Amino acid sequence: MSIILRLDRVMADRKISLNELSERVGISNVNLSKLKTGKASAIRFSTLNSICKALNCQPGDILEFVDDEK
């Protein structure tokens, strides 16, 4: 079972840069980059809330469940 972050796709759809989103959300470029590239192992609900608010999206737009047992 895997949770995949699709932040890069949502950012591209909204035409927003990493720097701009970082400023809107209030987290560092490094931490946001880890989320964008899927290298983060966790995300705080407060961070997810801020990202969704900045991108005008739902958590399901950013997070995707993939069943590894297929």
Where are the chain's structural domains?
A: 2-66
Nearest to 33 by CA among 44, 45, 21: 21
**Does this model's pTM top 0.85?**
yes
51-61: string of b/e by CB count within 10 Å (b at 16+)?
bbebbebeeeb
Q: CATH says 2-66 is which class?
A: mainly alpha
Residue with tokens 């490094």: 30
Going residue by residue through the chain (70 aa), what tens digit of pLDDT does each one get?
589 999 999 999 999 999 999 999 999 999 999 999 989 889 999 999 999 999 999 999 999 999 887 6
